[in-house]
Each structure stands twice: as structure tokens, then as C-alpha cells.
């Protein structure tokens, strides 16, 4: 059955993403295309309607002329956003939308598309344990089964218990899953490195090296799969032709020494919360579908100053306490990201009448919709107090806990 599609024509304003979301929220599938897309390319998608996001009168007229003759209803959006009632009328009445798009159907169509694209080719996927790559793994597993190999590289910069949890989920499935503990290699490369950008570069490059070495052992692959999602594409300017808003920082980019025919990006048209929904539809455990975003370089950018095993372990223990308390206070659903940072500041403390001189640990919790701007979260004092008390008593080498009360901008989410 053909999927009804609405095309959002992007005239260069930030409204496209919001409009695409609103259409999907009305259970009609939508895709964004640049305003200079040829009329035939648009018509080939067989859209039941087209929405022009805010543009100039001249832009609109030119496009209207090109699309003349295709007989596709068009809605022009002038103001800040389409009125809900106006959009609903356009979709249901003008375009005859059935409003029956849902994640179950979309998952089925993705699996069918992947089967058609890949055939009996071999696919390789770098699994990070995050939502995006995990959802890709489940999708590809359905589509190609044993022709998929997943490699999970533990760079030693994961949160407490995370490698074990990921292994537990994926080794239970009957799939080709390879776990590589490369922590010592990464730590050796990162020794005495304090500059954040150098850390990122080293981690990215080492990741690619480890991945390539392992891929070589597997032999020839036909496809490399990646968990790229819609905002990555929208923000990188690939579809809008508007220039890069945010150069995306996935670990290391693409490996150069793996010979493959094509990239497979099964979830590249989905927004983050849709990826989570898809994960749920595919049967991924909740602990993965609800996982908060975690940067590719991991705790490497949350250890200020030199990265050592000892400092990573302190951070992991403190971070776990913070996560436990946020969850037990029921706050995790309202917070987009919450984590601990180990600073390179020592500060004076006092324990049993003795002076101590230990690490200062910071906590950060933010709320955001797009991660481009973020607000610090007003966690109740009682929760902060409990976290602080537990950290200084249960984790050695921490004598002081501080809470970050800075929005983004001016501060970034991560400290490095």
C-alpha cells in the first residue's frame, strides 16, 4: 500500500522542522525538500499535498508556475506557524489524507525497503548502545538477519555498567554481535591530553582504527550502516541547501579503509522521539529506548584535565548516584540530559577533624527540545542535597559537589 506523503518545501526559514513535525503529529507522513527542488522530483514522490514554508511572494509564484500541471494541492504558510485548524482542514479535506500513518506501518515499510536495498549483501554496523544505533541494529536484524554484523567498541569512556547492559541486550539476540574492550588502548592514547578538541580527535580516530581492524577480520562487506537521524541531516544543511547550522559530531566520521558499496541510513528521516517510538515498536528494551543522549567521546569530555582510569571511576560512581536519585525522585522524564563532571579543581574539606584536599565534582541537568539551546533544571534542593551527601560519603576522593546553573547559551551542555 502506498504511503500518503506531504512535502514541506523549505523556503529558508526555520519553520520547516516544526511544520514537518505537525504534519506527522496529524498522522500523515511528511518530508522536507529544498525550495529549488525540480518540480518533477517533487511530483515523483506522489505527494497528496505540498506546504510552502514562509518565503517571499516571488519565490512562491515561481514555484507555483513550475508545479502547475501536476494538480497537487498547495498550502502557503505566511505567519509564524500554520494554525492547527487550518492544517487539519488542508490535510483532511483539501488533500484527502487518511491520517493513518503510524510507527508500526512505518517500521514494516522500512524493513521492506532495507530488504530490497540490501538483498543478500553483508552489512556492518558500529553499535554504540545509544538509541539510534540500537534501533538500526534491530531494524537491520529484521531485514537481513545473519547478514548483519554489529561491532560494539568499548572505549573505556562509558558510564557505569553501560557496556555490560549493552552486551546483555544484544548477546541475547541471535545475531552476529562482536564486543571489543579497547579501553586500555584509548586510555594510552589519551594519556596526559588535556585539550578538549584533541581528546575528541584522538577518541574519534582511535575508534575508526579499532573498527577498521575488526572489519578487516570479518572480510568484505557490501554496506556500512549508520544511525543518522533527520535533525542531523536538516542541521547539516544537506536538504535545505542553507549552509551548516551545526557540524555534527558523531564519533570520528566515516572509516576510510573499509571497502563498501553503499551507506545504509535506515532512520535518517525520523526525529529523535520517533526513533524512540520505533525502538519500542521493534521490541527494544525500555532502558535503551529511553536512554538520554550521550556524546560520542563519552566521559572523555566530562573529565576535565587529564583522563585517567582512577578519575573515570570516581566520575562513574558519582554519575550513577546522580542518575539513581533523579530516577527515584521521578524527575528523569522531565530532564533531557543529566550527568556529573569531574573537575580538575581540588578543594579543601574536613573529615573527622582532619583536613582533606580532594576533587570538586559538578552536576549538570538541562531541559531542551533541540539541544541548540537549553535551560538548567530547577532540581528540588532536597534531591540535590541527597545526591551531594551520597557522593561525598560513598565516592572516595570527592570533597565538594557543585551544581551548574547556566543556560545554553552562553554555556554549552557539555563542559568540554
Contacts with ligand XMP by CB under 6 A lie at 200, 249-250, 293, 295-297, 301, 337, 371, 408, 412-414
Q: Which is nearer to ligand XMP, 120 or 247 (CB)?
A: 247
Q: Which is nearer to ligand XMP, 240 or 296 (CB)?
A: 296
User: In the bound complex, what is the minimum distance in angstroms from residue 126's beta carbon to ligand XMP?
Assistant: 12
CB environment 365-379: b (16+ within 10 A), e (fewer): bbebeebeebebbeb
Q: Which is nearer to ligand XMP, 7 or 136 (CB)?
A: 136
Omega prior to 207 cis, within 30 of 0 = no
Q: Which is nearer to ligand XMP, 105 or 332 (CB)?
A: 332
Helix (H), strand (E), coil (C) string for 260-300: CCEEECCCCCCCHHHHHHHHHHCCCCHHHHCCCCCCCCHHH
User: In the bound complex, what is the minimum distance in angstroms from residue 204's beta carbon to ligand XMP?
Assistant: 8
User: In the bound complex, what is the minimum distance in angstroms from residue 255's beta carbon to ligand XMP?
Assistant: 16
User: In the bound complex, what is the minimum distance in angstroms from residue 373's beta carbon to ligand XMP?
Assistant: 9
213: which DSSP letter?
A: H
User: In the bound complex, what is the minimum distance in angstroms from residue 411's beta carbon to ligand XMP?
Assistant: 8
Q: Which is nearer to ligand XMP, 92 or 248 (CB)?
A: 248
Long-range contacts of 312-316 (CB under 8 A, 24+ apart): 312/156, 312/157, 314/342, 314/359, 314/361, 314/395, 314/396, 314/397, 314/398, 315/340, 315/341, 315/342, 315/361, 316/159, 316/160
Q: Which is nearer to ligand XMP, 371 or 376 (CB)?
A: 371
Q: Could you tell me if 397 and 359 are in contact, meaning their C-beta atoms sit under 8 angstroms apart?
A: yes
CA dihedral 224, 161, 311, 193 (to 10 degrees): 0
User: In the bound complex, what is the minimum distance in angstroms from residue 60's beta carbon to ligand XMP?
Assistant: 35
User: In the bound complex, what is the minimum distance in angstroms from residue 252's beta carbon to ligand XMP?
Assistant: 10
Q: Could you tell me if 134 and 152 are in contact, meaning their C-beta atoms sit under 8 angstroms apart?
A: no
Rounded Cα–Cα distance for residues 277 and 350 (Å): 49
DSSP 132-168: HHHHHHHHHHHHHGGGEEEEEEE-S-PPTTHHHHHHH
Q: Which is nearer to ligand XMP, 219 or 410 (CB)?
A: 410
Q: Which is nearer to ligand XMP, 73 or 196 (CB)?
A: 196
User: In the bound complex, what is the minimum distance in angstroms from residue 133's beta carbon to ligand XMP?
Assistant: 11
Amino acid at each position: 500500500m502506498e504511503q500518503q506523503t506531504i512535502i514541506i518545501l523549505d523556503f529558508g526559514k526555520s519553520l520547516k522542522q516544526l511544520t514537518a513535525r505537525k504534519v506527522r503529529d496529524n498522522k500523515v507522513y511528511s518530508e522536507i525538500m529544498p525550495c529549488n527542488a525540480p518540480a518533477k522530483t517533487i511530483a515523483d514522490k506522489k505527494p497528496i499535498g505540498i506546504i510552502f514554508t514562509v518565503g517571499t511572494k516571488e519565490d512562491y509564484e515561481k514555484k507555483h508556475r513550475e508545479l502547475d500541471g501536476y494538480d497537487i494541492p498547495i498550502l502557503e504558510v505566511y505567519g509564524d506557524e500554520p494554525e492547527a485548524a487550518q492544517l487539519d482542514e488542508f490535510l483532511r479535506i483539501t488533500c484527502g489524507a487518511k491520517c493513518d500513518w503510524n510507527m508500526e506501518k512505518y517500521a514494516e515499510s522500512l524493513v521492506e525497503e532495507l530488504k530490497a536495498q540490501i538483498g543478500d549483501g553483508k552489512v556492518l554496523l558500529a553499535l554504540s548502545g545509544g538509541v539510534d544505533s540500537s534501533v538500526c541494529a534491530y531494524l537491520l536484524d529484521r531485514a537481513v538477519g545473519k547478514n548483519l554484523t554489529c561491532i560494539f567498541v568499548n572505549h573505556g569512556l562509558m558510564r557505569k555498567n553501560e557496556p555490560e547492559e549493552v552486551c546483555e541486550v544484544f548477546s541475547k539476540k541471535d545475531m552476529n554481535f562482536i564486543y571489543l574492550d579497547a579501553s586500555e588502548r584509548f586510555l594510552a592514547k589519551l594519556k596526559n591530553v588535556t585539550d578538549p578538541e584533541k581528546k575528541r580527535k584522538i577518541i574519534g580516530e582511535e575508534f575508526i582504527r579499532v573498527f577498521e581492524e575488526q572489519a578487516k577480520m570479518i572480510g568484505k562487506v557490501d554496506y556500512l550502516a549508520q544511525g543518522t537521524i533527520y535533525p542531523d541531516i536538516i542541521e547539516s544543511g544537506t536538504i535545505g541547501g542553507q549552509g551548516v547550522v551545526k557540524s555534527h559530531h558523531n564519533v570520528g566520521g566515516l572509516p576510510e579503509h573499509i571497502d563498501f558499496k553503499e551507506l545504509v541510513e535506515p532512520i535518517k528521516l525520523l526525529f529523535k522521539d520517533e526513533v524512540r517510538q520505533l525502538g519500542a515498536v521493534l521490541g527494544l528494551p525500555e532502558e535503551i529506548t529511553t536512554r538520554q543522549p550521550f556524546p560520542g567521546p563519552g566521559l572523555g569530555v566530562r573529565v576535565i584535565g587529564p583522563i585517567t582510569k582512577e578519575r573515570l571511576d570516581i566520575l562513574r560512581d558519582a554519575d550513577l548516584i546522580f542518575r539513581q536519585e533523579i530516577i527515584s525522585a521521578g524527575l528523569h522524564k522531565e530532564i533531557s540530559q543529566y550527568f556529573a563532571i569531574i573537575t580538575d579543581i581540588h578543594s579543601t574539606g574536613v573529615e573527622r577533624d582532619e583536613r582533606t584536599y580532594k576533587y570538586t565534582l559538578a552536576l549538570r541537568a538541562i531541559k531542551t527540545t533541540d539541544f541548540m539551546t537549553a535551560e538548567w533544571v530547577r532540581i528540588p534542593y532536597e534531591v540535590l542535597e541527597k545526591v551531594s551527601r551520597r557522593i561525598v560519603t560513598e565516592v572516595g576522593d570527592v570533597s565538594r559537589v557543585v551544581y551548574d546553573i547556566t543556560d545554553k547559551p552562553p554555556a554549552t551542555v557539555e563542559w568540554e
